[in-house]
Amino acid sequence: MSRPPIITLTTDFGDAGYYVGAMRGVLLSLCPEAHLVDLTHRVAPYSPLEGSLVLQQACATFPEGTVHLAVVDPGVGGLRKPIFVRARGWVFVGPDNGIFTPFLDGSEQVYRIRDEVALPGRSETFHGRDLFAPAAARLARGDDPETVGERTHQAVHLHVPRPRRDGDLLVGQVLYVDHFGNLITNIQRSDLDGAGTDHAVTIGTHRIHRLSRTYQDGALGESLALVGSSGYLEVAVVQGSAAAQLGMGKGERVRVRPAESR
């Protein structure tokens, strides 16, 4: 027996209002057998970069054929294209604003969604409900991609800041703050050369003298740095919010040195 199609939803709509519910209603009307999974609706407003990081971290856990509907769309109704992308066995549906950057390696197929896919009376301020959800539902139920969109040129790529090296110093920055107040940086595990706990991390003027293994490797309220499940270095506080306690957020500079150089 074949499994039902899976559609995930990622937005910056938050938990209030009717927006997410309306999108789910359209999806189920057009593809009633679909299994809907909410990745998150708490992406920072107007931040395709944060949306792309959420998708990058979550998508690998889903089977091939999953349709990922992602609507973080500050340019809704403007010049940006509505697209879907077939890449790595998945399908991504949303605005062409760079949100699908982690999955664009040159092997992807990019389609501009056809106007006729939209619901009657389409609103130019809610493409999530009126254009992207119908496209995602049609693709999930197995419609020919050519009837949903027409092939187009490559999708927009976001510039994702990378850390830089200066001798034994690695300089990165906070990319986003998660629900727990953890400060997620752009420094990946591979940037740390496979070292264990022999790195010192400075964020702003606050220094952490070693890397930790878990969120409990310290006293209550103590700040620590560790490579989280995303594979990125993050700064956390034991059972607290690093963002609130340290007064820091997106864009804050992070410096990493071998512990003996601190």
Q: Do domains 6-151 and 164-261 have the same CATH topology?
A: no
Q: Which fold has domain 6-151?
A: Rossmann fold (3.40.50)
- What are the average pLDDT values for consecutive 10-residue runs of the chain, which has 262 residues? 90 96 98 98 95 94 97 94 97 98 96 97 96 98 98 92 91 94 94 72 93 92 93 95 95 90 46
Closest CA to 56 of 6, 102, 10, 7: 102
pLDDT at 193: 73
Q: What is the pLDDT of residue 262?
A: 44
Where do the structural domains in the chain lie, given as residue ranges?
A: 6-151, 164-261
State the fold for domain 164-261. Answer: Elongation Factor Tu (Ef-tu); domain 3 (2.40.30)
* Amino acid 41: pLDDT: 97
**29 φ/ψ angles, rounded to the nearest 5 degrees:** -70, -40
pTM of the model: 0.90
pLDDT at 260: 66
Location of structure tokens 């949306």: 51
